[in-house]
């Protein structure tokens, strides 16, 4: 072992070639058969990033930034996201390991429950929130076409539909996201055009012809749009382990940024423009008022529902499912069902009220304060301390050097979170250096941390 860091002298791990992978046959073992090429991977991320939460973040900055500033803030946020995903997904891409296994080298086998819990809670909350939005869209279609209005019924049915789709694992996710991404792209372009066509004068008055700011609120806005994906930055290895080998770090950054940017830009600006023009933040009301033609309205509402499925299955089901598999040793399908049931308990009908956009902003800032430090700890652990070399056998040995809890990782994460919570507008950014630097120093100088350098 290198005395200056935790780099392993173990040679690079190479997965054996396997011919097939059954739907729903997911495990925490190193990925043996990768099912996504670059285009498929890009489309999967594209289809999985149509988050209604992005719409809410756009609504929350009305009166703070003008249209140009908002567009630049979203672009910067997406560029940072691309870099962060490529960094933290490198271990999963190289070794085929999921997030909960990758985290063992920094946090220990038992210690991974901390980052796992921090990752799982926002996922389940967003799962419930977006399911309610999707159900509301279906209910609006049902009311328009058949006169049947029962949101609770559609919410339950919609949730069970998503649970059913989730049990097929990444084979199902691949085809759902790849096929759906084309429909999503055209729908977003159409909705963007409809909003500008209907509210053009109000948008010019309220969003274009205002001064806005390039100061702290602007950078805080980049954090908000970045914060929507700060959860995925943590568990990106769950996805990168499915991507076939052969892409450079620059290529991966480009794939991530270019897949996330269009959806984030369209959804964020639609939320900003409509809320700025009308004061309405409910996406169902927004799109209903922006579209005059009934058939097109129905298509638009179905798009909203479909987009919630593609986003939930990729972003809000897989992470907590893998966490339950790791902590409770559950099979994949059982864990997906439990995650779907837990989403019922998030009371999403409370999150879609008129006053909720500001509440969601606080929610994103708060959980980002904890996700940022964990991200920083994992990046420092992999790139600086271990110099991109992991001993895979030790990562799966519960009685090996990574047993128990590495309190350096926990302590550094909490320190970073404390700094972030003191600066909520910039929480994710503010947490990175304190967490990463303190973790690095503790790992080098605390005797209790030495065995984690094995």
pLDDT single digits (tens) 428-438: 899 999 999 99
Cβ proximity of 297 and 144 under 8 Å: yes
How many CB atoms are located within 10 Å of the residue 184 CB? 25
Cα gap 402→449, rounded to integer Å: 10
Domain ranges of the chain: 38-453
Question: What is the tally of helices (H) and strands (E) in the chain?
Answer: 22, 0
% residues pLDDT > 70 (the chain) = 90
Higher pLDDT, 19 or 29: 29
Instruction: Give the tens place of pLDDT for each residue, 81-98.
Output: 999 999 999 999 999 999
Instruction: Give the tens place of pLDDT for each residue, 226-262.
Output: 877 888 999 999 999 999 999 999 999 999 999 999 8
Higher pLDDT, 23 or 102: 102
Query: Quick check: pTM over 0.75?
Result: yes
CATH topology (fold) of 38-453 = Hydantoin permease (1.10.4160)
Of these ranges, 116-130, 297-311, 395-409, the one predicted with the greatest mean pLDDT is 395-409
Cβ proximity of 130 and 296 under 8 Å: no
Cα gap 44→315, rounded to integer Å: 10
- Say which DSSP state 426 is in: G
Of these ranges, 132-141, 228-237, 303-312, 397-406, the one predicted with the greatest mean pLDDT is 397-406
pLDDT for position 9: 53
pLDDT for position 1: 42
pLDDT for position 58: 86
Cβ proximity of 360 and 367 under 8 Å: no
pLDDT for position 27: 87
Judged against a pLDDT cut of 70, whether residue 4 lies above it is answered with: no
What's the mean pLDDT in 176-200?
80
How many CB atoms are located within 10 Å of the residue 401 CB? 16
> What pLDDT band is residue 19 in, cutting at 50, 70 and 90?
very low
What's the mean pLDDT in 1-30?
57
Cα gap 8→6, rounded to integer Å: 6
| Residue 331 structure tokens | 């099979």
């Amino acid at each position: 072992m290198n005395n200056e860091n935790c780099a392993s002298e173990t040679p690079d791990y190479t997965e054996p070639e396997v011919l097939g992978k059954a739907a729903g046959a997911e495990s925490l073992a190193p990925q043996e058969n990768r099912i996504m090429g670059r285009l498929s991977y890009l489309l999967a991320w594209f289809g999985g990033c149509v988050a209604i939460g992005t719409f809410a973040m756009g609504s929350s900055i009305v009166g703070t930034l003008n249209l140009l500033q908002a567009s630049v803030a979203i672009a910067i946020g997406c560029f940072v996201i691309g870099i962060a995903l490529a960094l933290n997904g490198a271990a999963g891409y190289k070794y085929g390991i999921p997030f909960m296994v990758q985290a063992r080298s920094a946090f220990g086998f038992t210690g991974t429950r901390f980052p796992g819990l921090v990752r799982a809670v926002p996922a389940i909350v967003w799962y419930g929130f977006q399911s309610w939005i999707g159900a509301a869209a279906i209910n609006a279609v049902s009311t328009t076409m058949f006169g049947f209005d029962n949101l609770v019924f559609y919410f339950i049915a919609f949730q069970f539909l998503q649970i059913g789709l989730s049990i097929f694992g990444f084979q199902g996710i691949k085809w759902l996201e790849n096929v759906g991404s084309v429909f999503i792209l055209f729908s977003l372009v159409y909705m963007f055009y409809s909003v500008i066509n209907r509210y053009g004068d109000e948008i010019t008055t309220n969003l274009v012809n205002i001064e806005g700011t390039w100061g702290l609120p602007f950078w805080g806005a980049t954090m908000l749009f970045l914060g929507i994906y700060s959860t995925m930055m943590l568990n990106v290895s769950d996805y990168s382990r499915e991507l076939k080998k052969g892409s450079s770090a620059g290529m991966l950054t480009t794939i991530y940024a270019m897949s996330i940017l269009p959806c984030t830009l369209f959804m964020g600006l639609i939320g900003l423009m409509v809320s700025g023009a009308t004061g309405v933040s409910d996406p169902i009301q927004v799109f209903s008022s922006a579209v005059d033609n009934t058939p097109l309205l129905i298509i638009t509402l179905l798009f909203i529902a479909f987009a919630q499925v593609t986003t939930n299955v990729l972003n809000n089901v897989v992470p907590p499912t893998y966490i339950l598999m790791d902590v409770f040793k559950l099979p994949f399908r059982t864990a997906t069902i439990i995650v779907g049931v837990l989403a019922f308990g998030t009371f999403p009908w409370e999150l879609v009220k008129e006053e909720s956009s500001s509440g969601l902003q606080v929610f994103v800032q708060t959980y980002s304060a904890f996700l940022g430090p964990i991200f920083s700890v994992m990046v420092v652990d992999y790139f600086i301390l271990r110099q991109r070399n992991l001993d895979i056998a030790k990562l799966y040995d519960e009685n090996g050097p990574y047993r128990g809890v590495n309190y350096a990782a926990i302590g550094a994460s909490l320190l970073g979170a404390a700094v972030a919570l003191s600066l909520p507008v910039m929480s994710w950014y503010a947490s990175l250096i304190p967490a990463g630097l303190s973790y690095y120093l503790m790992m080098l100088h605390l005797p209790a941390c030495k065995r984690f350098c094995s």
